[in-house]
Amino acid sequence: HNKLKPFPANFFWGGSTSAYQIEGAWNEDGKGPSVIDMAKYPEGTADFKVASDHYHHYKEDIALLAEMGFKAYRFSIAWTRIYPNGSGEVNQKGIDFYNNLINEIVSHGIEPIVTMYHFDLPYALQQKGGWSNRETIDAFEIYAQTLFENFGDRVNYWLTINEQNMMILHGDAIGTVDPNLENPKKELYQQNHHMLVAQAKAMNLCHQLIPNAKIGPAPNIVSIYPASSKPEDIMAAYNYSAIRNWLYLDMAVFGRYNTTAWNYFEEKGYVPTILDFDMEVLASAKPDFIAFNYYTSQTVAASEGDGSDIGHTGDQHITVGEPGVYKGANNPNLKKNEFGWEIDPVGFRNTLREIYDRYNLPLIITENGLGAFDKLEEGEIVNDPYRIEFLRKHIEQMQLAITDGVEVFGFCPWSAIDLISTHQGCSKRYGFIFVNRDEFDLKDLRRIRKQSFYWYKELIATNGEKI
Ligand code: BG6
C-alpha cells in the first residue's frame, strides 16, 4: 500500500485477562470451585488460588489500566462466583464483586468487554457430566440471563465462550473429557454441540434482554498453511481449517455445520446426537461481531495415514495431527519464541482478511501477545523490548489489514497485567504490568509498570500513530 489507513476513531485499544488466571480468592465470598480449582497442576508451577490477587487489588489494577489510556478492558466473569454450584442459588457477593469491578472500569471511561465463560466450568456441573449433559446448556442460559439482567445496563460488549475450539481440539489438556473413554473425540464433539447450542441461546437472550448490547463468539482463529504447494498438503490445510476454525464460526454466524467438518465426523464416527429443535435454535442466533485470539499461525502437511501424523504445529507444546486428515508440521520460515511458539505477524494480517472475507462481520482481537520470563531489576525496572517488538509487528500488520479493507474495532492483547498461564505457571508472563510474585513465593504482589506499559500508553494516546 502507498498509504496506510489510520485506526478508526474510538478504536478499542485495551487488554485482556480471565477470571481464574488473575483474580485469586478462589474460595472467598461464597465462590464455588471450578474445574480449574479441582485440577492437578503441572509440577513446579503455581496453582490459581491466589493468582495475581486481582480480587483484592482490582481498584489499583483498573487505575493502572486507565493510566495506560485503555479504551476497553476484556475480562471474564467466574461462573462459580455467580452460581457456586453452576445453577440454583445466586451468590449475591459474586454479583457485588462484579458490580464494583464494572463500576470501577466504567468510572474511568473504559468500555468493559465481558467473557461469560473462560475455561472455568463450575465443578458441580462437571460432576453431573459437564458439557456432556444437556442440563449444562440450561445452566448456561440461566447464568447468561443473570449476567444480562445484572450487568447489561453497563456492559455493551459480550463474548460467549473463550476458545471453545481449543477446549474441544485439546480436550484432554484443557477440556473436560475423560481421555480414557473408548471414543473421547466423539464425546468431545457431543460437548461441542451442546456448547454451540448454549452459545446460540445466550446470543438470542442477549438480543432480547439488552437490545443495544452486542455479543459474539471468541474462538482462537489462525491461518493454516500447507507445508508445501503439493495439492495433498493444500487439501490437508483445507481439512484442518475446517475442523479447527470454520466449524466454530460457520455455526456461530450461519447456524450450520461446516460440510468438511461434518463429513469428518461421519468418517471418524464423531457425529453428535442432535435434538429436534437444536438446528432451529442454532440457525436463529446471529452474532454482532467476531472476536478472536491469535498467537501463531499453523502449518500442516498431507496425512500419511498413521501415527507419524501426530506432531506439532505453531505452538510446539501442543500435539496435533490426525491420521487420514492432516499431519502437524513446522514452518521453517518462522522464528519461535522461548516457549516454542512460532511468531507470525504477517499471518495475523492473513487471518484478519480470511475471517472478514468469509463472514463480513466487524472483528476484534481479544488476545495476542508474548509470554516471556521478565526480570524485575533494581529501581523498579522491567525491560521487555521483546514484547514491544512482538506487539508492534502485530499492530503494524493489523493496520495493513485495515488498509486492505478489514473492519477491525479493537485490539485487546494478552495480557493487561501479569497472571498465571494456563499450564506454565506465573513465570511465563504476558502483562504490561509486572506482578511481584514467584511460583510459590507470593512476596508482596506489588504492581510495577513494565517498559511496554509506557510504550503502549503512548501508542494509545496517538491512536496507533506512534508505534
Ligand atoms: C489462550 C487462552 O489460549 O492463550 C488464555 O485464552 C491463555 O487463557 C493464553 O493464558 C496464553 O496461553 P498460555 O498457555 O501461555 O497461558
Strand partners, 218: 162
DSSP for 299-330, please give it: EEE---SSGGG-EEESEEEEEE-BTTTBEEE-
How far apart, in whole angstroms, are the C-alpha atoms of residue 362 and residue 17? 22
How far apart, in whole angstroms, are the C-alpha atoms of residue 328 and residue 178? 24
Strand partners, 328: 300
How far apart, in whole angstroms, are the C-alpha atoms of residue 160 and residue 407? 21
Q: How many structural domains compose the chain?
A: 1
Q: What is the pLDDT of residues 377-404, one digit of tens each?
A: 999 999 999 999 999 999 999 999 999 9
Q: Is 451 in the pocket of ligand 1 (CB under 6 A)?
A: no
Q: Look up the ipTM and state it.
A: 0.98
Q: Is 428 in the pocket of ligand 1 (CB under 6 A)?
A: yes
Q: Which domain, by its residues, includes 108?
A: 12-461
Our mutation pick for probing the ligand 1 site, out of 421, 424, 427, counting the most ligand atoms within 8 A of Cβ, is 421
Q: Which pLDDT score, from 0 to 100, does residue 307 have?
A: 82
Q: Is 293 in the pocket of ligand 1 (CB under 6 A)?
A: yes
**Per-residue cell: 305:** 495415514
Closest CA to 221 of 164, 286, 301: 164
Task: Decide: 346 and 354 in contact? Cβ < 8 Å.
Answer: no
Inside any domain, residue 17: yes
Inside any domain, residue 4: no
Inside any domain, residue 54: yes
Inside any domain, residue 6: no
Catalytic residue among 163, 280, 367, 377: 367
Atom of ligand 1 nearest to the CA of 423: 14
Q: Is 424 in the pocket of ligand 1 (CB under 6 A)?
A: yes
Q: Is 163 in the pocket of ligand 1 (CB under 6 A)?
A: yes
Inside any domain, residue 207: yes
Task: Decide: 427 and 442 in contact? Cβ < 8 Å.
Answer: no
Report the SS3 class of residue 251: helix
Which amino acid residue places its CA nearest to atom 11 of ligand 1?
421
Inside any domain, residue 121: yes
Q: Which pLDDT score, from 0 to 100, does residue 454 have?
A: 98
CATH at 315: 3.20.20.80
Which amino acid residue places its CA nearest to atom 15 of ligand 1?
421
Q: Which pLDDT score, from 0 to 100, does residue 176 have?
A: 67
Q: Which pLDDT score, from 0 to 100, does residue 175 have?
A: 57
Q: At 414, which amino acid appears?
A: W
Atom of ligand 1 nearest to the CA of 220: 3
Which amino acid residue places its CA nearest to atom 16 of ligand 1?
421
Question: What string of pLDDT tens digits covers the 467 residues of the chain?
Answer: 779 999 999 999 999 999 999 999 999 999 999 999 999 888 899 999 999 999 999 999 999 999 999 999 999 999 999 999 999 999 999 999 999 999 999 999 999 999 999 999 999 999 999 999 999 999 999 999 999 999 999 999 999 999 999 999 987 655 567 777 888 899 999 999 999 999 999 999 999 999 999 999 999 999 999 999 999 999 999 999 999 999 999 999 999 999 999 999 999 999 999 998 999 999 999 999 999 999 999 999 999 888 888 877 777 667 788 888 899 999 999 999 988 899 999 999 999 999 999 999 999 999 999 999 999 999 999 999 999 999 999 999 999 999 999 999 999 999 999 999 998 999 999 999 999 999 999 999 999 999 999 999 999 999 999 88
Q: Is 371 in the pocket of ligand 1 (CB under 6 A)?
A: yes
> CA of 79: how far to CAs of 33, 87, 239, in Å?
10, 9, 34
Inside any domain, residue 466: no
Q: Is 414 in the pocket of ligand 1 (CB under 6 A)?
A: yes
Q: How far is the CA of 394 from the centre of ligand 1 (A)?
A: 17
Q: How far is the CA of 170 from the centre of ligand 1 (A)?
A: 13
Task: Decide: 391 and 368 in contact? Cβ < 8 Å.
Answer: yes
Q: How far is the CA of 422 from the centre of ligand 1 (A)?
A: 5
Strand order in the sheet with 214-218: 214-218, 157-162, 111-117, 72-76, 12-16, 408-411, 363-367, 290-293
What letters, b where the CB count within 10 A reaches 16 and e where it falls short, cover 20-38? bbbbbbbeeebbbbbbbbe
What pTM value is reported for the model?
0.97
How far apart, in whole angstroms, are the C-alpha atoms of residue 296 and residue 343? 6
367 in active site: yes
> CA of 286: how far to CAs of 6, 137, 201, 213, 345, in Å?
29, 18, 10, 13, 30
Inside any domain, residue 212: yes
Atom of ligand 1 nearest to the CA of 414: 9
Q: How far is CA 188 from the centre of its chain?
A: 19
How far apart, in whole angstroms, are the C-alpha atoms of residue 360 and residue 380? 45
Closest CA to 175 of 131, 222, 217: 131
How far apart, in whole angstroms, are the C-alpha atoms of residue 221 and residue 218? 9
Report the SS3 class of residue 270: coil
